Amino acid sequence: MITPKENNKLIYFMENDIAERDVTTELLEERECVAEIKAKEEATIAGLDEAELCFEYFGVQVKRLVEEGSRVREGATVMALKGSNKGILQAERTALNMMSRMSGVASLCAKARELAEGSNVRIALTRKTIPGFNEFDKKSAIIAGIDPHRFNLSDMVLLKDNHLKFFKSVKEAVRKAKKESSFSKKIEVEAKNKGKALKAAEECPDIIMLDNFSVRDAGQTIKEIRAMNKKVLIECSGGIDLNNLKSYIELKPDIVSLGFLTKSARGIDFSLNIK
């Protein structure tokens, strides 16, 4: 499902790529043809909706051969196309770049999700996404079974260390947030060490983020928070990647979030071949 905002962005992306005119494609006679898109490496697929919109903009018919979120092997054909050679060639790069980045994020997310399988820990993104591409990064994560976390600054109250410096105490900050923020928003507090985390827990925010805690400190802190406050959700974040993710999951926080999943995602290679 493509939102109106995504729809407008995708057309703008093509406008950027085609620019004044496709000086190569205009040399061709227009002809009907068929084409296939293949994954050139193993991947968790995302971006099919987006690629489809690009091709359909030019009247090209699209048949999906795999579903969003499915795992495919190297060489798998993921999409079949039928339509004007000029349409296919003009949409090609935007469509493939969408699939490349989105499947790249989805593939890394899928690995993280696998590490969490069997646990009740939720793996989440952060807001460390590509500017202007944020909703597509988030969507790729969702497709791969990962929690998108907040989309933007309007979505949730998250009192980070830089915010807390302007309050007398975390107590004052959380109380102000509870009083002045909408009931419809959750309130999360970032803590830099166990002491601060426990202080925060006393004020019962919805979520406490243990930021940049070592596995050991995180473990101890989670235990102590659980002892005093059963309701608050605990999120581990900061410096986590696929190497140490498992250790954090084993501490059974509610959420582990990784900037790594978007920051370190590599694009997946796809190729489009006209037959």
Active site residues: 128
Q: Which is nearer to a second copy, 8 or 61 (CB)?
A: 8
In three-state form (DSSP H/G/I as H, E/B as E, the rest C), the secondary structure along 5-39 is HHHHHHHHHHHHHHCCCCCCHHHCCCCEEEEEEEE
Q: Which is nearer to a second copy, 58 or 194 (CB)?
A: 58
Q: Could you tell me if residue 83 is left (phi over 0), alpha (psi between -120 and 50 degrees) or otherwise beta? A: left
Radius of gyration of the chain (CA): 22
Describe the strand order of the beta sheet including 32-39 as a list of residue ranges.
61-64, 77-84, 32-39, 270-274
The closest of 112, 86, 10 to 51, measured between CA atoms, is 10
Contact 110, 44 (CB under 8 A): yes
In the complex, what is the shortest distance from the CB of residue 30 to a second copy, in angstroms, rounded to a whole number?
8
Alpha-carbon separation of residue 129 from 158, 233, 259 (angstroms): 17, 24, 8
In the complex, what is the shortest distance from the CB of residue 244 to a second copy, in angstroms, rounded to a whole number?
15
Whole-angstrom Cα distance, residue 104 to residue 70?
13
In the complex, what is the shortest distance from the CB of residue 55 to a second copy, in angstroms, rounded to a whole number?
13
In the complex, what is the shortest distance from the CB of residue 227 to a second copy, in angstroms, rounded to a whole number?
19
Which structure tokens are listed for 272?
């489009």
**Residue 139 CA, distance from chain mean position:** 6
Which structure tokens are listed for 225?
């928070």
Which structure tokens are listed for 230?
């059963």
In the complex, what is the shortest distance from the CB of residue 242 to a second copy, in angstroms, rounded to a whole number?
13
